Amino acid sequence: MIWILVGLGFLCLESLILYDVTDVRIMHEEGPDGAALSISCAPESERLAEERHRAEERAHWAHQRRHDRIVAGFSIAAAAAAAVAAVIAGWAYVQTKRQADAAWLQVQVSQDTEARQLRAYVLVSKSELRNLGDGKKTTAEVLLKNFGLTPAYKLKRNISIGFAPFPPNGIIFPDPEIGPDHSDLGPSGDVSLGPITSNSVRTESQISDISNGLWAVYVWGVITYVDAFDKLHCTKFRMFYKGDGAPIPAGSLPLTHASEGNETDNDCEDIKAR
């Protein structure tokens, strides 16, 4: 029995050496006859328990890593979804703004078109020259007409008459001064501008130059008015008469619009301020 106990002790010692375990418990048990002893070595069970503990730790950390990856994945997905939503919202805003701008532009174009269709247009409708070459002072008269569909308000106008070479070759025709007097002109209405008379009678030499087309009689003027949409308008006009080599006929003579000096809505404020 002693030798059995000694052998079992060596086995326990060997187990301690092999598994690097320092805690050995010897448990005494009595047999049926009260004399038998048994020795139980704990190192194997503790090693298994430790391995189970380590396995549980590995499983725990593996689960934790999976959980962290899932959380990170959901976070990335949420961030991506937020970014996509922001892009969609930005695109929708841009499209909405473009549509709003287009609608506003359409409204402006429509209003501008309506104003252009309805506003007053005061222009020269007829003009004539009289008493040229008959020993009298030459006179000119211009008829203005409102070709628009609404009245022209605060209508002001003035004209001048003069003689100069043809073509004028850089001669300046100063705008006639416009006084404070004004009137209103309804749609299709007309008003006379003139008659205006030259300062002196033309000499025979001047009449010959006009007849041969070397000189011309010039009539020019300025018109300002405000339309029904409270917008200021202005018109400058320049007309002339010259012969073609034949004697100047008696009576009224038509005036022709010059290639220069005719313009509309240019520097209206400057003209008004004069």
Give the residue from 160, 162, 122 showing the smallest Cα distance to 143. 122
pLDDT tens figures, 101-148: 777 666 666 667 887 899 999 999 999 999 997 788 999 999 999 999
Greatest Cα pair distance in the chain: 175
Q: Report the pLDDT averaged over residues 167-175.
A: 90
pLDDT of residue 17: 42
> With contact defined as beta carbons under 8 Å apart, do 45 and 27 qualify?
no
Instruction: Give dist(CA 20, CA 11) in Å, integer.
Output: 14
Instruction: Give dist(CA 85, CA 208) in Å, integer.
Output: 86
The answer on pLDDT for 27 being more than 90 is: no
Which pairing describes strands 256-257 and 253-254: parallel, antiparallel, or unpaired? unpaired
| Every domain of the chain and the residues it spans | 2-41, 122-273
pLDDT of residue 89: 86
**For the structural domain made of 122-273, what CATH number should be given?**
2.60.40
Residues with Cβ within 8 Å of residue 79, at least 6 apart in sequence: none
72 vs 273, residue with greater confidence = 72
- By the 10 Å C-beta count (0-12 exposed, 13-18 middle, 19+ buried), 103 is classed as exposed
Confidence of residue 4 (pLDDT cuts 50, 70, 90): low
Q: Across all residues in the chain, what is the average pLDDT?
A: 82
Residues with Cβ within 8 Å of residue 157, at least 6 apart in sequence: 144, 178, 191, 193, 221, 222, 223, 224
pLDDT tens figures, 198-218: 998 888 899 999 999 999 999
* CA 262 and chain centroid, separation: 34
Confidence of residue 16 (pLDDT cuts 50, 70, 90): very low
